[in-house]
Structure 1
């Protein structure tokens, strides 16, 4: 198993492991992480009619009994941050052609809803968590917050052309975050560099270098960059955003790249316009909420001679932790024994 990773192939036979052929990460059986459910295989007919799947999608664990079924992750290190990601695919494993809907809990709090009835596609949930002792607690970037957690909504690599694959992950990202290629419009083009891109001191995000070596920019100098999303109907309408920037080269004396950031026409960069740092990864971050939709606009100032650029974006939903743990002994029971809970809806 790769140091720092726990990669579980649900439904894999007991005491079995393998190295994934493309990203070279070791997957192990989920035996020992859960004591309920049964191992099943995705339907051969289903696989034949779909795109090729990685090996870890070919097996699954079904939970036909009980309203709640749990996975427990042990041997965690106190004070470490953990990225947790779970994939779900029905694959007509039971031959009934009835994809399920269910809730997933992290400890005692709702992580997200999995709905596999929509085109039976793969569903993914991701959250960042940390362990204050030997159990997990939700993390808010930059520090602990026992009343909130962050659930990933979008993570985009703003590369619009070139050799970049549709998804960047390990080993390009040592934390195995999934950076999805942004689906841009013809009004944007790409700038890039082959030079190494560094990080600011105490960078708590550490976007991978390959992501920071490319950026999206408008074709016309007078144009802006727009990035939009909508809250889920009836869902939480509060978000934490991270916009990553790095200037691709040292600018000439007569060149200037500076821009303001707007949310639905309201100015966010109120102190002063922003200028990316040369070959250094930096980020603008903040919280937004209460809007029916979110349109982020990067607009060059009047004196700027160059249009804005954007290297990458992360958007998280801010989810309240309704039953924060305050007592260590009580928390150890609640969060270690009932760490990952799948509940029927």
Structure 2
């Protein structure tokens, strides 16, 4: 019994250590490791460290340095993914990009981001605005490959930070749809409505589950600041987001929130919206929540109260969220934040210029093979006949027949070409001459 207890204790220690090591934080371009953040060493073998010049990004240490990849078309990070050989895990993968004019050229590059050989996103970087890309990824492997791919001449890929997080410890991220095998979900949008344009929420401690929220105030809506919330009874609600909101100008106005998906049709989405209110104790705010004209739920918010709703929907290139007055409230529709996740379609990775040239060359070879074969079949009989004519033996002229010579060639009475004897190939490859002109041999084309 004591031995079994000891063995079980060792297993728990090893498993606990593996689980604690499952999260990976890489400050790309950093010269040193610090706190929970590692430098690039051990995760990638290529690239150069740089520092941004424009420090107008949100206050984040990880956005002040970056790793640039000028030498190879495709450069990859290997992230240790499987925390234990006893199970498989779903992960949050986050890649952060901030150009910050690190090279002094004021020319932010465009490149591709891949995960496990699958196209993740086209990264169109900005001089001043940071960009964050997230995947909820189900892994079966010991390592997950994240690659940056150069697709335009002299536009070198870079990255500021790369994270791998076990979703087990991130309760605010949706779990119910990401546990399916071979399912990958993108974080398409995550907005904090009504927040100042420079007030990004960059994860913990402002969001205890480390989500990143982009400030957004749609045109025509009124930004509202609310008192601080201490508790709403729902641990998934981001209190830092609930302190701001946008409001329709009038109680009879509808809030329209359109979301574009590059014209891609029949996409599956998970939508979660958050609501708070700054009303008096005697008031209630209520309205209807619609997506693409489909009724989802009725939202009711009381004094110092907050709420949320969620839905699984499909889109055809765009997703239109609406908050419609329902006639039961004298207060305008109101929203604090929204998250939209999208099932990632199986997009093939885009080829680099070098790969495109190689593919074009291989295609030319593939096209050239049948063309050459056809030409060979056409020309081969003629070449064989010409060869037979050149190799046929020359005979003496018959009686009464003059020998034929060229204009500068003397006639040789010993040689002439017989016009009566057809030339045919024998079975052993020799040239035979039929003297009676009735040979029945046939020339067979073996070129096919």
Between stretches 176-185 and 275-284, larger displacement belongs to 275-284
Structure 2 unaligned regions, length at least 5: 1-19, 145-165, 168-172, 354-448
- Are 2:265 and 2:316, in contact at CA under 8 Å, matched by a contact in 1? no
Structure 2 residue 96 is matched with structure 1 residue 87: yes
Q: How many residues matched?
A: 301
CA RMSD of aligned residues (A): 3.9
Match of 1:172 in 2: 206
Correspondent of 1:73 among 74, 79, 82: 79
The structural deviation recorded for 1:167 is: 0.7
Structure 2 residue 324 is matched with structure 1 residue 289: no
The structural deviation recorded for 1:107 is: 1.7
Q: What does residue range 1-345 of structure 1 map to in structure 2 within 5 Å?
A: 6-13=24-31, 16-18=32-34, 26-35=36-45, 37-42=46-51, 47=53, 51=56, 54-74=60-80, 76-77=82-83, 81-90=90-99, 99-116=108-125, 122-131=130-139, 141-143=175-177, 144-160=179-195, 166-169=199-202, 170-185=204-219, 187-190=221-224, 192-200=226-234, 206-233=236-263, 237-247=267-277, 252=282, 255-264=283-292, 266-269=293-296, 273-276=298-301, 279-291=305-317, 293-321=318-346, 344=352
**DSSP 3-state at the match of 2:38:** strand
**DSSP 3-state at the match of 1:210:** helix
Structure 1 residues 172 and 160: CA distance shift in structure 2, 3 A: closer
Match of 1:332 in 2: none
The structural deviation recorded for 1:226 is: 2.1
The structural deviation recorded for 1:321 is: 4.7
**DSSP 3-state at the match of 1:56:** helix
Between stretches 208-217 and 50-59, larger displacement belongs to 50-59
Distance 1:150 1:286 in 2: 13
C-alpha distance after superposition, 1:97-132 (max 9, x if no partner): 76543222222322111234x658644322223556
**DSSP 3-state at the match of 2:288:** strand
The structural deviation recorded for 1:197 is: 2.6
Structure 1 residues 343 and 9: CA distance shift in structure 2, 3 A: farther
The structural deviation recorded for 1:313 is: 0.6
C-alpha distance after superposition, 1:58-115 (max 9, x if no partner): 4433334444322122265456553322123456666777654322222232211123
C-alpha distance after superposition, 1:211-252 (max 9, x if no partner): 224433224222222212222256885543221124556853
Distance 1:320 1:159 in 2: 32
Structure 1 residues 69 and 239: CA distance shift in structure 2, 3 A: same
- Are 1:99 and 1:120, in contact at CA under 8 Å, matched by a contact in 2? no
Structure showing greater radius of gyration is 2
Structure 1 residues 134 and 212: CA distance shift in structure 2, 3 A: farther
> What's the TM-score, normalizing by structure 1?
0.70
The structural deviation recorded for 1:210 is: 2.0
Distance 2:191 2:228 in 1: 20
